[in-house]
Structure 1
Amino acid sequence: MAKGSMYRVVNTKIASMSSRLLRDEDYKKMIALKSPSVIALYLKENTAYGDFFKDQDPNLMHRNEIERLLKEGLINLMDKLIHYFNGDYRNFFKCFYLKYEIYDLKRIARLVHIDKNFEHLRENLVFAGKYRYIDMDMLLKAQSIEEIIESLEGTVYHPFLKNLVNGSTTETLYRFEMALDKAYFSILEENVKKISEEDQRAFYDLYGSYIDMLNIQWIYRGKKYYKLTPEEIFNYSINRGNRFNYKKIKTFCYAKDTNELSKMIENTPYGFMLKGDSLQDIFMERRMNRFMYFRLKSAKKRFKMDISILLSFMELIEFEIRDIISIVENVRYGMEYEEAKKYLIKAI
């Protein structure tokens, strides 16, 4: 299918799917509900997410079950869209599966490293192993991050992780997560190079800002919480952001502390990330995602015949699912309405 024809078909399909996204009113009603099962019932009876809960009894759903069904529904949406792509574009689209598989691997690592919970690993795997080879039996038997890395030998992740296997347990989780993100963006960049120059520009126009913000977040956390060396932080940085080149990122990595880093970031478009307020560390990721939310909404409205509509839709669906999970979590712990809104990506 010619690229122009492909985007006419794909964008029409996405326009139909987008019309079924949650409204502000849906958010408000869900935040006011009193239990995860009641939220599941609302989603099933009043929203397009009812398709995700088909043949399921909402009264029996707990938080983890709701999250699993939402993620499985996301897979189904992706499967419907990838049908329209072939060749290099199909390989590019497959990188989204990689992204969500990495989410699973991070979850498993946290269960093993922090919670020491080895009984519920399988139920946390929605994406992992679905579209590429992973030794699932070995992964599910892992009782340390080192064993997780060993289980990933022969996969696209292992070259980025193998240097972490040194017998040390200090900060291994953070390095593991950073190495996986480095793997994702490295593989993504290789696939972006193979699509049209117009689509490459559209990709970096959207994702470049996210790459900038991820680099800031990683540098900040690496300095404040993990005392990593500038060289080590720089090794995990990502290429091709919108605002910061190789030299600028290196300067950030060599800032003497987070205060100096904040001054460097202060007059950039991302100064909101390091304002120094009491909620900075708690809400940094949410602020990043909200920044991206508005960029994606704006890009989607332009309805251009390039990759931007697909990218915007995929990210907006993910943000919406993450918001639903946040609402379920906040309701579960009895959080007040006004407080719960602060944790959402979408501004209500």
Structure 2
Amino acid sequence: MRSMMPAQDLAYLTARCHANRVRLIDTAYISNYLAKAKSLDEFVNYMYATYYGEKLTQLGKEISEDALLRLFLDVFEERLQMILSGLPRPYDEFMRSYILKFDIKNLLRILSETIRGIPHAPAESYRYKFSMLNYEQLLKAGNMKELLEVLPKALFGEALELAMNLWEKYKSFYAIELSFWSTYYKKLIEKLKEIPGEDAAIIWAIIGTEIDLMNISIALGPMKYGFAVDYLDKMLIEKSYRVAVKKLKELYALEGRSVVEVVPQVYSEIIE
């Protein structure tokens, strides 16, 4: 059992994270070399000059795309586990809620494959070491309804009923996607309330932009994808960062391009 107090835990963990920064690939190196690689072999050769060089050597001479992706994931999972194991409460609970986003992305990938009739990859292709979903069970589902029924209510709550309703009425993958992200961010905000003030403000500055963009996407839903405006009240995330949710609720009565008139200019290029 750790004897350090939470503040000391955070200071120690912060120091470890800063130490790990030297292992990150420099952005200039990514732009000047990795991004310009014309083949997998050339990309791998450039990677030998990075932190991954020793790990690549252990893989042998012939390195496949799958092996390279698995290596990246292993390092990512290793670093994330270091953070999770060092966080005191309530920071650890917030972080575990935050990383559910990786499972949601893979869940949406499976949902999309199911809708389009595309064969699924093996479960290992979707799962992380920290995953909270049973991917074997998800991949056995034969249709959208079965898929939604096997998802854990503890993780997704109201999103499941909402997603089922939207699918039955509109057969819109986009609407289902929004329902999951809406529920995700609402739960994340609840977890953020347990974080002390100054730290919560720093985190809010990071996730607030994500929430603003999600709210804009939700508000555009009735215009772009045809689902009823009644769903806006269920899906919009009331706590916003820069975007006035009250104004977004009025957008369905306007033309799509009017969105730029009611959101901060910082988001205008994204909307356009």
Task: State the TM-score, normalizing by the size of structure 1.
Answer: 0.68
CA contact under 8 A between 1:10 and 1:84: conserved in structure 2? yes
**Offset of residue 80 of structure 1:** 0.7
Aligned equivalents of 1:251, 1:52: Cα separation in 2: 54
Q: Are residues 1:89 and 2:91 paired?
A: yes
The 3 A distance-change label for structure 1 pair 53 and 255 is farther
Q: CA RMSD in A?
A: 2.7
**Offset of residue 187 of structure 1:** 1.9
Structure 2 unaligned blocks of 5 or more: none
Aligned equivalents of 1:245, 1:263: Cα separation in 2: 12
CA contact under 8 A between 1:211 and 1:241: conserved in structure 2? yes
The 3 A distance-change label for structure 1 pair 235 and 84 is same
Q: Which amino acid aligns with 2:58?
A: D
The 3 A distance-change label for structure 1 pair 183 and 55 is farther
CA contact under 8 A between 1:193 and 1:200: conserved in structure 2? yes
Residue equivalent to 1:179: 179
Q: Are residues 1:15 and 2:15 paired?
A: no
Task: State the TM-score, normalizing by the size of structure 2.
Answer: 0.85
Counterpart of 1:259 (choices 257, 260, 264) is 257
Residue equivalent to 1:40: 44
**Offset of residue 91 of structure 1:** 0.7
Q: Are residues 1:213 and 2:213 paired?
A: yes
Counterpart of 2:29 (choices 25, 29, 33) is 25
The 3 A distance-change label for structure 1 pair 268 and 251 is farther
Deviations 1:198-247 (A, max 9, x none): 22222212222221122223333x14531223222342222322223442
The higher relative CO (CA closer than 8 Å, separation ≥ 6) is in 1
**Offset of residue 119 of structure 1:** 4.1
Residue equivalent to 1:204: 204
CA contact under 8 A between 2:94 and 2:192: conserved in structure 1? yes
Residue equivalent to 1:271: 268
Q: Which amino acid aligns with 1:124?
A: S
Deviations 1:235-273 (A, max 9, x none): 222232222344233233x342212223323x5332222
The 3 A distance-change label for structure 1 pair 151 and 58 is farther
The equivalences for 1:228-239 within 5 A come to 228-239=227-238
The equivalences for 1:149-164 within 5 A come to 149-164=148-163
Deviations 1:266-289 (A, max 9, x none): x533222234xxxxxxxxxxxxxx
**Offset of residue 131 of structure 1:** 4.5
CA contact under 8 A between 1:107 and 1:124: conserved in structure 2? no
Counterpart of 1:113 (choices 109, 112, 115) is 115
SS of match in other structure, 2:198 = helix
CA contact under 8 A between 2:247 and 2:262: conserved in structure 1? no
SS of match in other structure, 1:46 = coil
Counterpart of 1:99 (choices 95, 98, 101) is 101
The 3 A distance-change label for structure 1 pair 20 and 179 is same
Q: How many residues were matched structurally? A: 267
Q: Which amino acid aligns with 1:262?
A: V
SS of match in other structure, 1:168 = helix
Residue equivalent to 1:194: 194
Aligned equivalents of 2:154, 2:61: Cα separation in 1: 37
Q: Are residues 1:77 and 2:75 paired?
A: no
The 3 A distance-change label for structure 1 pair 96 and 61 is farther
